[in-house]
Each structure stands twice: as structure tokens, then as C-alpha cells.
Amino acid sequence: MQDELDIVDELEAGPGNRKSPMLKVLCILTWVYSFFSCFLFTLFFFSSKNLETIFSDVHWSSSFWIFVRFFGAPLVCSFGAILMWNKNKWGYVLYMIAELTPVLHAFYITIFVLQVKGPGVFVTVILNIIPIVFAVLYSMQLPYLKPLKLKKDGSI
């Protein structure tokens, strides 16, 4: 009797319903990175010397992007990873927005603002290689996520 139940469970859990082992690893690594990024940012933020620099008018723009890159984006990536852990494709959308925004900002600053060419662009690629690789690896896990569906009234 137990063997028959196990066979039924395997049939119901087919390949479309299983969670990819790679997706599990990626989600866990995302949570670990996000924790350490937010923790280190918090330590940096509450250093008395840095508080004066962060809230001065001169450094507001760069401080905002430091906040986004090392605190805001990791939190949104963590939330996206939680949704992907539950096989929700909206988590992928959130993750990609939060992961690629700081990367695109880094390329924008390097190429258009600082007008760096050649080796400088290569350095920017190297500094952002981990977020780019994670974006590619998460994209490879899309078949394991439930498709995006809208309700008949157009809401999510």
C-alpha cells in the first residue's frame, strides 16, 4: 500500500512541480549576501565619521547610490528570492530590477560620466561580474517558476 502512495506522490510532484536544486542554492546565496551587505552597510552607516559625510549636501547623490547598492537592492533581492523559493515568477522580476539597477548605474557612471574607455570598462565588468552571473543563473531557472498570470479584471 505504501509503495502505491509513493508512486502517486511522484506522479503528482512531476518535474514541473519540483524545485530546482540550483534555484535553492541561488536563493540561499542571495540571502547570505543580502544579510552581510545590509549588516556591513549598517556598521558603516552608524560610524560617526561617516554620518557627517553621508548627510552633507555635497555627497547626497553618491550616498543615495551607496544606500541603494548596499542596502536597498539586497533587501529587494532577498524578497525576490523568497518569492522565487515559493516558485513565483514575480520574484524573478523584482530580483532582476534590484540586481541590475546598480550594475547599470555603475556602467553609466563609468562610460558616460567619467568617460572611461578600454581597461576602465573592463574593471567595471570585473567588479560587477557576480551580479551579472547571478542574473544569468536565475534566468536559467525560469522553467521551474510558475508563469505570470493576471486575473480577468487585469489585476495581479
pLDDT tens for each residue of 21-76: 999 999 999 999 999 999 988 887 777 565 556 555 555 567 778 888 889 999 99
At 103-147, the pLDDT tens digits run 998 899 888 888 888 888 899 899 999 999 999 999 999 999 988
Residue keyed to cell 552608524 = 46
Three-class SS of the chain:
CHHHHHHHHHHHCCCCCCCCHHHHHHHHHHHHHHHHHHHHHHHHHCCHHHHHHHCCCCCHHHHHHHHHHHHHHHHHHHHHHHHHHCCEHHHHHHHHHHHHHHHHHHHHHHHHHCCCCCHHHHHHHHHCHHHHHHHHHHHHCHHHCECCCCCCCCCC
Q: Give per-residue pLDDT as tens, 85-108.
A: 999 999 999 999 999 999 998 899
Nearest to 91 by CA among 29, 141, 20: 141
- Write the single-letter amino acid at 34: S
Exposure class string for 60-84: b at 16+ Cβ within 10 A, else e: eeebeebebbbbbbbebbbbbbbbb
Percentage of residues in the chain having pLDDT higher than 90: 45
Of 20, 21, 14, 28, give the one whose Cα is nearest residue 145: 20
Q: What is the pTM for the complete model shown?
A: 0.76
Q: Pull the grid cell for residue 72.
A: 536597498
Phi, psi of 88 (to 5 degrees): -100, 125
